Amino acid sequence: MCFGQGDCEGCSKSPGTKDANSHTCALHFILLLTIALPLLRKYKPRPNILGVSAQSYGSLLPYILLTRPHDQALSFAECLMARGVAAQNIVIDPILKIEAVAAPYDFSSIQGLLITSGNAVAHLPVDLVGSNLPTFCVGEVTTLAASKRGLSARHMANTAQGLCKALSYEHLTGPLLHLRGVNTTLDIAQYFLGTETNVQNLVTYQQTAQGLRNETYYILQSIKQVVLPVFSLRSAQLLCRLDLDWSRHSAVAISQAVADSCKNVGFGEVIVSLNPNSASMLGTITPLMAVKSG
């Protein structure tokens, strides 16, 4: 059904039909409201996943660029919006894509699992789901996710280095299995090599590099003080290889190692998160965005 100017113009064509046409227009208007209002109530602003240029919004600041894998970036964007960051100023352009890796393995002798990333939980081998194996985790969120997959998960530390130190006091012989990606900041099996703790590696996913879109390059080249949260050393390394002038932008780093990479390529501002987790990153970024928008 179309509602146009002609419908209402008909109301003035002849006195004999004016009342009938007016009644028809009123019914059309009520029907339109009945359809439209429920849709408007359901509308929620979404982050700018298309990377539209700043001029499209008539505003240059603040901008935040999320380069995490897509699902993680969307989740973090929703947290930012819940804290008042405008959806149209959040650009999502993943520089990494997480992909599963076929990992056939005989788990019969494994006495426990090591999980240092939520990606390992998301790509947990089917044979381990619901196994209730003792699982030593990095990060509270990852620990909770592992528990939901049927593992007997314990939160040991907030970093892989912290996990290794905590395991040293457990006096476990193993074998323990570290579920990890192709790229990792710490080879835990190598760390425990020559000790009583037998740790083996199993790669279950890979972090595939992706190029940024042309729209994202435009934002980084034409807008000042874009905020980039950097959640991993791998992401930092890929970003820092790009031929861009980083002196006009700010990096919020999840760790000192990530911060050092950002400093080396000349970011104008580098802030290190108090703790190496998403909640702390969110707490660091939110007031920064408020200052830049003020």
Judge whether 246 and 262 are in contact, CB under 8 Å.
yes
What span, in angstroms and rounded, lies between the C-alpha atoms of 115 and 98?
16
Average pLDDT, the chain: 83
Domain edges within the chain: 5-42, 54-95+210-293, 98-208
Q: What is the pLDDT of residue 24?
A: 54
Structure tokens at 60: 């240059």
At position 45, the amino acid (one-letter code) is: P
- Assign 134 a pLDDT band (cuts: 50, 70, 90): very high
Query: What strands, in cross-sheet order, belong to the sheet with 134-138?
Result: 96-100, 199-209, 176-181, 112-115, 134-138, 152-157
Q: 33-69, pLDDT tens digit by residue?
A: 454 444 434 334 455 554 443 333 334 447 899 999 9
Scored b (16 or more CB within 10 A) or e, 26-36 reads: eeeeeeeeeee
Confidence label for 267 from pLDDT (cuts 50, 70 and 90): very high
**Count of C-beta atoms within a 10 Å radius of residue 22:** 14
Please state, in angstroms and rounded to a whole number, the distance separating the CA atoms of residues 253 and 270. Answer: 7
- Determine which of 25-34, 47-56, 74-83, 245-254 has the lowest per-residue pLDDT on average: 47-56
C-alpha 185/C-alpha 224 separation (Å) is: 31
Whole-angstrom Cα distance, residue 132 to residue 152?
Answer: 5
Q: What is the pLDDT of residues 148-167, one digit of tens each?
A: 999 999 999 999 999 999 99
- What number does CATH give the domain 54-95+210-293? 3.40.50.10090
The pLDDT tens digits of the residues spanning 87-121 come to: 888 999 999 999 999 989 999 999 999 999 999 99
For residues 119 and 179, the answer to whether their CB atoms sit within 8 Å is no
pLDDT at 171: 87
CATH of the structural domain 98-208, one choice from 3.40.50.10090, 3.30.2130.10, 3.90.1570.10, 3.40.50.300: 3.40.50.10090
pLDDT for 44 equals 45
Letter for the amino acid at 10?
Answer: G
Question: What is the Cβ-side half-sphere exposure of residue 260, based on CA atoms within 13 angstroms?
Answer: 4
* Residue 276 in tokens: 């190496």
pLDDT for position 12: 41
Q: What average pLDDT score do residues 273-282 get? A: 93
Q: Which tokens in the block code for residue 75?
A: 């989740």
Residue 257, number of CB atoms within 10 A of its CB: 15
pLDDT number for residue 289? 75
